[in-house]
Structure 1
Amino acid sequence: MPVLLDPVASDSDLPKRADVAIIGGGIIGVATAYFLAEKGVSVLLCEKGEIGGEQSSRNWGWCRTMGRDLREMPLAQESLRLWRGLSARIGAETGFKETGTLYLCPDAKTLAKREAWLAEAQAYNVSSRILRGARVNETLAGAAGQWAGALFTPDDGVAEPHMAAPALAHAARRRGASIVTHCAVRSIDVSAGRISGIVTENGRVACSTVVLAGGVWSSLFCKSLNLRLPQLKVLASVLRTAATDKGPGPAAWGPGLSLRRRLDGGYTVSHGSVIADIVPDSFRYFRDFLPLLKMEWSGIALRGGKSFFEEANYARYWTKDAPSPFERHRMLDPRPSAHDLKRARQNLEANFPAFKTVPTQATWGGMIDATPDILPVISGVTGLPGFYISTGYSGHGFGIGPGAGLLTAQIVTNEKPVVDPEPFRFSRFGDGSDVRPRAGL
């Protein structure tokens, strides 16, 4: 595995009972576990592989409010508030730093789009502002490109993906949560019309509530329950450079390039585009995702290949006493796109010449769980009391992870939510709602 990941040892025993069982040990699952445990709720988190082993440790590490779909803005703002005090709150380092973030605009058309977003976002008292001309290069140390302008948010930040999810898992355990890894949940038990337990590869656990935080695996799990969750996965490719003191402090994104300074002094760099493999679900959810594919800023490239045949062989239904697809795929470690990484490296050196002498130290790929409107599902499921879904974060899950975990915990415990959860309801995919995206990726 090419990404660095702080280890989280598994509990030795699977408990017989818990109030809430969480399926999935990414940033969303562990944040939910932490906030539930903080409330004194008995929690079991089951992860089929390692804590944070998939996209939660493979993302860019941005924690931003800038450019958000305005329906997601309150959750992004709450998450940023939590990030600022999270390391102190949980007693462990998450790597969060308030660095600022920029969206670089190469031309007037792109700048106008950012200005339009900012005009609407002012209702949320954002700190974002427009930089023009030379002010962009003054803000980005070492920048050599010429830009029409940039959208700059000085109080956004970054954190360390390989540290944050494990830190939250350890904190949840200190609060009393059980954390069991290499333990796939095969199915749920239902009695008298509501959740009564989960069935794992290591045995049954009685519980009255289940939270599905399975990332890219959530749609497949829902299929086994006859629930339709339109979600696809896309491949993002990332590289890590050696340490250097000649790069910019703020995290920056522009056409063909994103970069942010890491806690170790290196930089996480990406081209910014993603690849969607054509798989059976591409056809099942084609109508749902068509508006997104038509968006000029989507940055999604379609690709055919062996993934179609691999996923065609996934079982859609399985018995509780037989291995599930989740046990056969402990951890997704996809091969990154060499083409995208080459372009990212070329753009990095063209726009920040000092990086010509800074070597690449690692590359990796990660699978992002995406929904048609680029908004997550954080919701109960009508008709299945006690079952909740928290997934489909569409590349935003790390940045809004703390707020999403808190909101999920509040929904589960029927408390007043920190933000309005209505935009994230599961039912929007079947009630005639407009599920087109309204902001950039």
Structure 2
Amino acid sequence: MAGRRVVVVGAGVVGASVAHHLAEQGVGEVLVIDARSEGTLPGSTGLAPGLVGQLSADRDLARLAMASVELYARLPGLFHRVGCLEVATSEERLASFADDVRDGTELGLTPRVLDPSSAAELAPGLVEESATGALFVPEDGAVDPVAVTAALIGSARARGVLFRWNSPVRQLEEHNGRVIGVRLDSGVVRADTVVLAAGIWGPTLAATVGARVPMVPVEHPYAFTAPSEDLTGEAITMPIVRYPEHAVYCRTHGTRYGFGSYDHEPLPAAMGATAGRAFRDKTFEPALAKARKLVPALRTAEVEKRINGVFALTPDELPLVGPAPEVRGLWLAEASWVTHAGGVGKLLAEQLVGVSTGLVDPARLAPARFAGWSADRVTRASLPHYRGIYLTH
């Protein structure tokens, strides 16, 4: 693709990953455009809790997460390989860990089953010895999504990628069935290829050239406690903890605990200026209250901050990576978050330059897999996946 110009819309973690990998592949001219000022991430990236778990019910999602870990681990000091504990509160769940150990081992991970006391020793306050047991994946970890994004932007910029900030893209420009650029307030920026990595704003821009992004934005609660005397605030050393039977997850943030819950009805999100919305007490508070009863350290902790972040679901839980079927020259890197962003950027860059490392079969993530689906069908198929995002089987 030497001599061809690629414009990436969106400089969140996915857009930054795309830019980084395009630069690694030697793509001649890459320009990333974002509506925000540099260092400001009010979108989904800035609200993400930063959990990077690699085991998944889908083998390709696992591979994308592993590629993300490989990338993040190359960024000095930004990937904290503290591991992840999947806590079982029933014998049935504990028995299912045998399948996870087999699947993870086949992928090259080293998961193992722990007794309750060993799990509680690894994550004091987040696991108690009354649990049934836990699955520990030592290769998993946590990141600061904003810091990772900044590092990827710096890497891409060092390889010649240009960034244009404070420049909202108003629409895509099309001629004879091909996207030829993007329109800003200052005029049209020409491109041979446009990559949408705009998160929940992707569908609005795609629609300006008659293309569809088959995903559904949904709202999700996350909370931070007040500082705890039990936490030192030093580098992250405690594992991520998940309670899959209860759709609850938690981690430490310095001297604070952070936790989220999927134990509520999914709430489709209307388009808005940011990915952060007003907290929905009636829907979210009961779910967070149940999470606090489940996790020892949260039972008496004061909740200091609650957020409502928006992310996207697809009908099969997989990201949308590849060319849009309705118009030439438009590519999507959508419906992804921090866990898979490194792999998504790698896969898209490989497709654009026509190489393959065998990471994932591109057809599995191709936006065209939902061609002909109505918006209602996409919504009905996507929302039931809300609770299943973090399940390993």
TM-score, normalized by the shorter chain, greater than 0.5: yes
- Matching residue within 86, 89, 97 for 1:106: 89
8 A contact 1:238–1:336 mirrored in 2: no
Matching of residues 296-375 of structure 1 within 5 Å:
307=270, 329-338=272-281, 340-341=284-285, 343-344=287-288, 347-348=291-292, 351-353=295-297, 355=298, 358-375=301-318
Matching of residues 99-138 of structure 1 within 5 Å:
99-138=82-121
Cα 1:76–1:350 shift into 2, 3 Å: closer
| Length-normalised TM-score, structure 2 | 0.82
8 A contact 2:173–2:180 mirrored in 1: yes
8 A contact 2:10–2:196 mirrored in 1: yes
Secondary structure in 1 aligned to 2:345? helix
Shift of the alpha carbon at 1:62?
0.8
Number of matched residues?
Answer: 366
Amino acid at match of 2:142: V
Secondary structure in 1 aligned to 2:266? strand
Cα 1:204–1:275 shift into 2, 3 Å: farther
Amino acid at match of 1:430: A
Q: Is 1:265 the counterpart of 2:261 in the alignment?
A: no
CA distance in 2, matches of 1:367, 1:275: 14
Structure 1 counterpart of 2:378: none
CA distance in 2, matches of 1:30, 1:369: 18
Cα shift readout 1:159-185 (whole Å, capped 9, x = no counterpart): 012322233223333333222233222
**Structure 2 residue ranges without an equivalent (≥5):** 232-236, 374-380
Shift of the alpha carbon at 1:274?
5.8
Secondary structure in 1 aligned to 2:223? strand
Matching of residues 155-304 of structure 1 within 5 Å:
155-244=139-228, 246=230, 249-254=238-243, 255=246, 257-262=248-253, 264-273=254-263, 276-277=266-267
- Matching residue within 1, 18, 29 for 2:15: 29
Secondary structure in 1 aligned to 2:32? strand
Secondary structure in 1 aligned to 2:149? helix
Amino acid at match of 2:203: S
Structure 2 counterpart of 1:46: 33
8 A contact 1:235–1:336 mirrored in 2: no
Structure 2 counterpart of 1:429: 370
CA distance in 2, matches of 1:250, 1:73: 19
- Matching residue within 66, 70, 75 for 1:77: 66
Secondary structure in 1 aligned to 2:92? helix
CA distance in 2, matches of 1:383, 1:256: 37
Cα 1:383–1:366 shift into 2, 3 Å: closer
8 A contact 2:214–2:367 mirrored in 1: no
Amino acid at match of 2:256: G
- Matching residue within 391, 394, 409 for 2:334: 391
**Structure 1 residue ranges without an equivalent (≥5):** 1-16, 88-92, 280-306, 312-328
Shift of the alpha carbon at 1:154?
0.9
CA distance in 1, matches of 2:21, 2:166: 23
Cα shift readout 1:29-71 (whole Å, capped 9, x = no counterpart): 1111122234353222122335532111112211121235212
- Matching residue within 341, 346, 356 for 1:416: 356
8 A contact 1:369–1:392 mirrored in 2: yes
CA distance in 2, matches of 1:74, 1:351: 30
Cα 1:417–1:411 shift into 2, 3 Å: farther
CA distance in 1, matches of 2:372, 2:163: 36
- Matching residue within 322, 335, 341 for 1:379: 322
Shift of the alpha carbon at 1:208?
0.1
Cα 1:206–1:404 shift into 2, 3 Å: same
Shift of the alpha carbon at 1:256?
5.2
Cα 1:198–1:178 shift into 2, 3 Å: same
Cα shift readout 1:406-432 (whole Å, capped 9, x = no counterpart): 222222222224512232111211389
| Length-normalised TM-score, structure 1 | 0.74
- Matching residue within 37, 49, 52 for 1:63: 52
CA distance in 2, matches of 1:110, 1:224: 47
Cα 1:72–1:144 shift into 2, 3 Å: closer
Shift of the alpha carbon at 1:269?
1.6
CA distance in 2, matches of 1:331, 1:104: 34
